[in-house]
Amino acid sequence: MSTAISTQAQQAIAERFRTVRQRTLDLCKPLTPEDMMVQSCAEASPAKWHLAHTAWFFESFILNEFLPGYKLFNPDFPWLFNSYYRTFAQFPEKRLRSSFSRPGLDQVLGYRQHVDEGIERLLEAGAEAEVLKRIELGANHEEQHQELLLTDILHAFYTNPLRPAYLKKAGQPGDEELRTSNSQLRHPGHPAKGFVKFEGGLVDVGFSGDGFCYDNELPRHRAFLEPFAIGDRLVTNGEFAEFIADGGYRQPELWLSAGWDALEQNGWRAPLYWNDVDGNWQLFTMHGEIGLDDAMDAPVSHVSYFEADAYARWAGMRLPTEAEWEMAAEGRAIEGNLLDSGELRPSGVAGAGEELKQMWGDCWEWTASAYLGYPGFEPLAGSLGEYNGKFMSGQMVLRGGSCATPKAHIRSSYRNFFQPETRWQFSGIRLVEK
Amino acid sequence: MSTAISTQAQQAIAERFRTVRQRTLDLCKPLTPEDMMVQSCAEASPAKWHLAHTAWFFESFILNEFLPGYKLFNPDFPWLFNSYYRTFAQFPEKRLRSSFSRPGLDQVLGYRQHVDEGIERLLEAGAEAEVLKRIELGANHEEQHQELLLTDILHAFYTNPLRPAYLKKAGQPGDEELRTSNSQLRHPGHPAKGFVKFEGGLVDVGFSGDGFCYDNELPRHRAFLEPFAIGDRLVTNGEFAEFIADGGYRQPELWLSAGWDALEQNGWRAPLYWNDVDGNWQLFTMHGEIGLDDAMDAPVSHVSYFEADAYARWAGMRLPTEAEWEMAAEGRAIEGNLLDSGELRPSGVAGAGEELKQMWGDCWEWTASAYLGYPGFEPLAGSLGEYNGKFMSGQMVLRGGSCATPKAHIRSSYRNFFQPETRWQFSGIRLVEK
Amino acid sequence: MSTAISTQAQQAIAERFRTVRQRTLDLCKPLTPEDMMVQSCAEASPAKWHLAHTAWFFESFILNEFLPGYKLFNPDFPWLFNSYYRTFAQFPEKRLRSSFSRPGLDQVLGYRQHVDEGIERLLEAGAEAEVLKRIELGANHEEQHQELLLTDILHAFYTNPLRPAYLKKAGQPGDEELRTSNSQLRHPGHPAKGFVKFEGGLVDVGFSGDGFCYDNELPRHRAFLEPFAIGDRLVTNGEFAEFIADGGYRQPELWLSAGWDALEQNGWRAPLYWNDVDGNWQLFTMHGEIGLDDAMDAPVSHVSYFEADAYARWAGMRLPTEAEWEMAAEGRAIEGNLLDSGELRPSGVAGAGEELKQMWGDCWEWTASAYLGYPGFEPLAGSLGEYNGKFMSGQMVLRGGSCATPKAHIRSSYRNFFQPETRWQFSGIRLVEK
Amino acid sequence: MSTAISTQAQQAIAERFRTVRQRTLDLCKPLTPEDMMVQSCAEASPAKWHLAHTAWFFESFILNEFLPGYKLFNPDFPWLFNSYYRTFAQFPEKRLRSSFSRPGLDQVLGYRQHVDEGIERLLEAGAEAEVLKRIELGANHEEQHQELLLTDILHAFYTNPLRPAYLKKAGQPGDEELRTSNSQLRHPGHPAKGFVKFEGGLVDVGFSGDGFCYDNELPRHRAFLEPFAIGDRLVTNGEFAEFIADGGYRQPELWLSAGWDALEQNGWRAPLYWNDVDGNWQLFTMHGEIGLDDAMDAPVSHVSYFEADAYARWAGMRLPTEAEWEMAAEGRAIEGNLLDSGELRPSGVAGAGEELKQMWGDCWEWTASAYLGYPGFEPLAGSLGEYNGKFMSGQMVLRGGSCATPKAHIRSSYRNFFQPETRWQFSGIRLVEK
């Protein structure tokens, strides 16, 4: 591995590290230490745990190995804040994270500072290539947890019967006010649905270039695609409400068998966070509850793969494969309603015509592709090999990032993955013509 | 109902109210707001919830009804902090209490103060008999939650993989120290086991006198008892360790069928909070982990009814019925290792001979009696009738209080009750000769 | 133990043995080998298993021990058909009984014959007292399984979506007809509800006399009862339908807390085997489905303890304790709608006035007493000690037998017991005035 | 759709229909009516249900629609024996099939005969193309159930604690003998492992030709493959035993995360049907239990996808994709240890060198491909569209057939699919070089 890294590249990585670390703290500003204890479903973790675990990653895979004389902040933390790296250390059952009242938030913040100082020392000394690569990996890892932190808090606040809001409208009263009223969504008008055609053929899929990517984006490889026409924007809440009104949740023939089972077991009759209040749909968001009427043109979000698939079947369409999606996205500038916009909910799009819109941000887009290794896939060596590869079973690929994804984090080859019944992420629908 | 209440009685109740309310706050002093969020098992509630619910009781059953012009602290709290009074209001599922990060601890403390002020206004005005009776009921209710708050925190800290201690030894370092080392238990020596004989006959069972009692202690009624001889002290950890060493947890013939099922399903091989560390038993307590060697003479605690019953069978003995226990206890001064001692764990007894010891405090004593209504039992009128009566199914009676029971709370007719597999309370064993 | 047994007593026991054994076979006549494979709920066993297990009891506890040179029918059967006697042998999980297609029915019938021959040889040789006692125990054991076989088949046929009937009306077509139409129930008219008064006082409870009883009916002991007035007949379907119509299944205040949980989890809105067909209640019985209108005066059956308790509360009454019930029943001739009547369903009563009716048969009567050992209770020695004693936890006592109980089997001190949520037995309600 | 069908084609389909129908009955010859009631796991159905459901298919999709004046055998059977066609009729919960003691086996056989007669009448009349196509579909459907019937019986007999054998050795005693001793497996010697190379490139995948195929094998489409080298035979029991001995079931790094969870939850430490008897592996088969030593060269069977994947990782190899497998298989004559051989268990292979062996029969081969629709996939119209398409979620593709697959049923484009934790099928492993 080359050890010659330009000073400029070093500075870029250092800057990225500092920015990411600071943003995690910024995202916690609206939260109390008590908020940061809540773990409201099996998929989620407490915000405090995210704070600690992202520090743990830098300590475990960088400081321990590369910083001479590094002293652990606390000898229990290496196993306490391990998520799932079996070859690295023992770890507590995930559900126990809700019992971590100790260490307190102050200690966790101290842990983060301790780790930051260690990384800064490494950077000052002129880190070798492998260290810089891992710092970059750690920054990307932390960005994933930023998104999880936000979606976990959304679920936590939804579970709280008082339904507090993460974001407050400007001019609202302070802490004693538990609920916020609706804020304004941008209403750019409902553009006519268009489809953009692609020729297909023998295409290259997977990451290429000099920057960072995860192991699961490699190797770049050839795949054959038939011609296809992909929707120019995401399916909206208004369109999805038509599916509901048309009995979409009551017709098993629209659903995959496992999807119908999930619907029945969980009593689904709308996306997660939709509530029927006296016959009107209310949507719970990071801004509190809003009426469907105020979000008709925003993309539908918090749908499972099963709902996305059923909607597509109802609409006479299908979902894109991940190769199709990637072909459509490759080379497009990364602009959109990402975490950096601060909107923190999917929003409508301006513009019309057959130009692809919302490829980045708003909602992760369910694809029709199972999450499997690319031909020739090799996980990273050592414990870091557990990062992605061992989850290649029973999950579907999502593409394009969401309103909770940092802009620096996403790219056309990026593969997110969740089980098909997952709904707590910002996950939506883009159609392809059959 | 008589409305003439002496000033002295009024003052006594007012004093009791204030003492109880202050003690709840005192018990929370070692806890952080984060600690007060943890709900680590289905039986338990977060400490913050206990703080709020005990205020809710006074508000719902007294202030709402009897204080003219009383203004709710928060319009959501009447349903949010309702535990299980179905005829009073809706209530959230119990497991959701871990999501109540809002209201924050400050708001809950404000709620308590708001309620306290309301009660004080009622007291100043010269409360009528029914009000005083309910304040007394509320004080007793809060004392029950004091005990639950402590046993819930013990479980929460046990669930936390770091196993922090609620109590710290004098002279120990401060907050940054998560674990405490063993503190000293009193070692009065292991008194020879004695049995005290009672004649039995037609006895009166149930509460009598002028003071407070729960509805389930009434009516006082006649029951016939054969002569019996009851153990003069509780079974110790050392004695219980012999049962374990003798294969007590591996011999189904010692166990009730449902008990053996519970043993197999839960993998029981010792009381809750006993851990086998390299062949040595460690006991987790409010003082942190201690070695069995340091607690041989203390009463065994955190055993289920099934374990108490199996131990008794192994020892060639049986458990007392609740009527036998009450006959033995009636008229004895209430002295012992109760909450007021501050010990917060069962401790050994001095003295010997055939004098009954440890009838009060240390551990709740499992009886052989199912929890059912006494002949002629009538629950309180209205929603308060849900307090005790509706739980008269599937539970066994325990008597005598524990090291977490306020001294003012316990009496000879007091009936505690839990399901037979329950272990998170301070529950122990007293034997009767067969 | 005395070994001098009169010839007459010997002959009586031999006769009892033969009668019981034959009746088990007779009860299977309406069943096919396929019917005898079904195990439709966790409580039930296949009929073929009942046939085999009742032979196993005689083999294991009598022939093995007392018949010199006895040769096992099959060396696997001692563990294969053991139900739950842990100190005797291993046994398969109960749910696996549905996989016992081998041994086939022929082999099981051969097993029964083999065992019968062994017992006959013992009887011919002039069996000693302990042997005769155990044969009597075995006959009683088999009678219990006769009742279970019938109730298990009722459940099996109810689970079969075709709902076949165990009994066919005279004059009906043959085997190809899967469903029977309603048969006639006796309609004696609905007698006015009366209550019979008892003085109470210090009474003797438990078995007395020379005949057979189970260990759990001993020792006879003193208990103190207040005066009480007990219903002169069972609660009818018609009366229970009023409870349903009055919202009895929708009012939590009528229910024990565990009962309401059971109602919600299982979706109870009527007794087991009641089906709402287009707004009319249909009752599934051993005679097939009948309309409620044809069974208004018959006792309500297949209710849990929770439903019995809720009904009593709604009616302003309570359930009897087992001591009260026994006091009322003691000395009364055993006559009623028992298995011997062949009716196989609860039926209405003729007569009126304040004479106790239906004390025997029709339905087991839930009492308000938990199933616990009597003062001084000692289980039988050895493996037979597992018969009754180890189930003394979490169950309620029922008294009086049902339409599936052999007349020879029941007596005033007889204690049946089931968990409070149990509904697949013929279990009904007798009230006591509060 | 063309209606001109040659007489020859008509006769071929008629012959195929009769052969398939007869074979189903032949497969049931070793079974008693009681055996045919057992449903021993959630995946399985009773043999009698398979008999009835395969008749139901012909009745529901052919006779009802195409035979004028067809009279249902029984008006309840259309819903009673529906498996999962929601758009066709209601159907009972799958687990209830074990309660179908009525209709008895005789009635089910009568149902089959009734349906056969109907089909014969259609054939005599000169069936139109659509009818012939559906008869062919029904024959294929029944062949799938033949395999399921056998694997379900294997599981049923394994669940029976007596472990009876489906096949008896020649010269063995009759029905009274419940267990068979080991029969001989062919021992051709353990051929050296070889790998056969394929060039890859842009290949065609999916069915082509005139014969029958399922909708999920279409449309034939292009896919790009890199060069690969595929194992010339299946992994043997002996080779898999080395994986076990090397701690393969104790090293999480070899397993997918979901696979390790399955291993822990189910306590896997060997393939299904392997039992450790005093340190020696015994394998339960259709011939009864045999020692591993007698089956070292036979292919390992009854492994889940997770085990196949972990084995491949341990061996430094990978599993083939379904396109790779199909490329290797296309054009090869269908010969091997299929149902027609009557062996009913995987067996070793003769021959050596780098010639592909065991591509057909022995064991289904897990591929690395998730079961999804091919590009442009369209399910059949109407209720038959529920046959395959709705299961395209959460399953992995298997290829090549097993020793329980009829020879006439399998082809190179055939796609079988099961959830990755499935083990009750004859499922094995073929490796590909990394």
Please tell me which chains touch A, using 3 or more CB pairs under 8 Å as the contact test: B, D
How many residues can be counted in chain C? Answer: 434
Q: Using a CB-CB distance cutoff of 8 angstroms, which residues of chain B are in contact with residue C202?
A: 202, 224
Cα diameter, chain A: 66
Q: Is the pLDDT of residue D182 over 50?
A: no
- Give the residue, A196 or C180, on which the prediction is more confident: A196
Q: Using a CB-CB distance cutoff of 8 angstroms, which residues of chain A are in contact with residue D372?
A: 368-370
pTM summary value: 0.94
Say which of A202, A305, A420 has its CB closest to residue D202.
Answer: A202
B418 closest CA partner among B307, B277, B292: B307
Query: What distances in angstroms separate CA B260 from CA B89, B257, B316, B420, C419, one per listed residue?
Result: 39, 5, 19, 12, 17
C363 closest CA partner among C302, C425, C415, C428: C428
In this complex, is the C-beta atom of A7 within 8 Å of any C-beta atom belonging to chain D?
Answer: no
**Chain segment B175-185, per-residue pLDDT in tens:** 333 333 333 44
Place B6 in a pLDDT band, splitting at 50, 70 and 90. confident
Q: Beginning with the edge strand found earlier in the chain, give each strand of the sheet holding A432-433 in spatial order.
A: A195-198, A228-231, A432-433, A317-318
Among the residue ranges A152-161, B113-122, D375-384, the one predicted with the least confidence is D375-384
Q: Is the pLDDT of residue A173 over 70?
A: no
Q: Which two tokens stand for residue B308?
A: 């108490």
Q: What is the CB neighbour count within 10 angstroms for residue A226?
A: 14
Place C10 in a pLDDT band, splitting at 50, 70 and 90. very high
% of chain A surpassing 70 pLDDT: 92
Q: Is the pLDDT of residue D356 over 80?
A: yes
In this complex, is the C-beta atom of A41 within 8 Å of any C-beta atom belonging to chain B?
Answer: no
- Whole-number CA gyration radius for chain B: 22
Give burial (CB, 10 Å; 0-12/13-18/19+) of D351. Answer: exposed
d(CA C39, CA B405): 49
Asked if omega into B320 is within 30° of 0 (cis), the reply is no
In this complex, is the C-beta atom of A20 within 8 Å of any C-beta atom belonging to chain B?
Answer: no
Give burial (CB, 10 Å; 0-12/13-18/19+) of A273. Answer: middle
Range C63-91 average pLDDT: 95
A177 closest CA partner among B82, B74, B36, B90: B74
What pLDDT shows up at residue A364?
98
Smallest CA–CA distance from B254 into chain C, residue: C390
What pLDDT shows up at residue D175?
38
D253/A386 touch (CB, cutoff 8 Å), yes or no: yes
Place A348 in a pLDDT band, splitting at 50, 70 and 90. confident
Query: What distances in angstroms separate CA B137 from CA B4, B15, B48, C385, one per listed residue?
Result: 18, 14, 21, 46
CA distance B34 to chain A (A): 5
CA D72 to chain centroid, in Å, comes to 30
What pLDDT shows up at residue B282?
97
What pLDDT shows up at residue B350?
61
**Chain segment C264-273, per-residue pLDDT in tens:** 999 999 999 9
Q: Which two tokens stand for residue D300?
A: 């390992």
What pLDDT shows up at residue B89?
87
Q: Is the pLDDT of residue A195 over 70?
A: yes
Q: Using a CB-CB distance cutoff of 8 angstroms, which residues of chain C are in contact with residue B372?
A: 368-370
Smallest CA–CA distance from B390 into chain C, residue: C256
B18 closest CA partner among B120, B141, B105, B108: B120
3-state secondary structure of D60: helix
B156/A32 touch (CB, cutoff 8 Å), yes or no: no
A178/B102 touch (CB, cutoff 8 Å), yes or no: yes
A306/D86 touch (CB, cutoff 8 Å), yes or no: no
What pLDDT shows up at residue A378?
95
A354: DSSP letter: T
In this complex, is the C-beta atom of C280 within 8 Å of any C-beta atom belonging to chain D?
Answer: no
In this complex, is the C-beta atom of A249 within 8 Å of any C-beta atom belonging to chain B?
Answer: no
Q: Is the pLDDT of residue B187 over 80?
A: no
Q: Using a CB-CB distance cutoff of 8 angstroms, which residues of chain B are in contact with residue A105?
A: 34
Contacts of B255 (CB under 8 A, 6+ apart): B263, B306, B309, B310, B313, C390
What pLDDT shows up at residue A189?
43
Q: Using a CB-CB distance cutoff of 8 angstroms, which residues of chain A are in contact with residue D221?
A: 226
Q: Taking all residues of chain D, what is their mean pLDDT, rounded to a whole number?
A: 92
Smallest CA–CA distance from D221 into chain A, residue: A226
Mutate to test the interface with B, among A32, A34, A153, A176 (most CBs of B within 10 A): A34
B390/C256 touch (CB, cutoff 8 Å), yes or no: yes
D101/C39 touch (CB, cutoff 8 Å), yes or no: no
D390/A223 touch (CB, cutoff 8 Å), yes or no: no
Range D37-41 average pLDDT: 98
Q: Using a CB-CB distance cutoff of 8 angstroms, which residues of chain A are in contact with residue D87?
A: 252-253
Q: To 10 degrees, what angle do helices C7-27 and C129-159 make?
A: 20
Q: Using a CB-CB distance cutoff of 8 angstroms, which residues of chain D are in contact with residue C94?
A: none
Q: To 10 degrees, what angle do helices B129-159 and B47-58 make?
A: 170
Q: What is the CB neighbour count within 10 angstroms for residue B355?
A: 12
D165 closest CA partner among D155, D175, D173, D157: D157
What pLDDT shows up at residue B193?
74
**Chain segment D96-151, per-residue pLDDT in tens:** 999 999 999 999 999 999 999 999 999 998 889 999 999 999 999 999 999 999 99
Sign for the CA dihedral angle at A29, A142, A159, B144 comes to negative
Place A350 in a pLDDT band, splitting at 50, 70 and 90. low
Contacts of A332 (CB under 8 A, 6+ apart): A356, A359, A360, A412
In this complex, is the C-beta atom of C101 within 8 Å of any C-beta atom belonging to chain D?
Answer: yes
d(CA A264, CA A276): 18
**Chain segment C362-387, per-residue pLDDT in tens:** 999 999 999 999 999 999 999 999 98
In this complex, is the C-beta atom of A159 within 8 Å of any C-beta atom belonging to chain B?
Answer: yes
Place C193 in a pLDDT band, splitting at 50, 70 and 90. confident
A37/B40 touch (CB, cutoff 8 Å), yes or no: no
**Chain segment D266-316, per-residue pLDDT in tens:** 999 999 999 999 999 999 999 999 999 999 999 999 999 999 999 999 999
Residues D121, D128 contacting (CB under 8 angstroms): no
**Chain segment B396-433, per-residue pLDDT in tens:** 999 999 999 999 999 999 999 999 999 999 999 999 99
Q: Which two tokens stand for residue C122?
A: 């013992």
> Above 0.85 for ipTM, yes or no?
yes
d(CA B361, CA B303): 16
CA terminus-to-terminus distance, chain B: 46
Please tell me which chains touch B, using 3 or more CB pairs under 8 Å as the contact test: A, C
Q: To 10 degrees, what angle do helices A7-27 and A47-58 make?
A: 160
Q: Using a CB-CB distance cutoff of 8 angstroms, which residues of chain D are in contact with residue C101?
A: 32, 34-38, 156, 160
What pLDDT shows up at residue C192?
57
Q: Is the pLDDT of residue D246 over 90?
A: yes
d(CA B345, CA B299): 9
What pLDDT shows up at residue B349?
77
CA distance B390 to chain C (A): 4
In this complex, is the C-beta atom of B304 within 8 Å of any C-beta atom belonging to chain C?
Answer: no
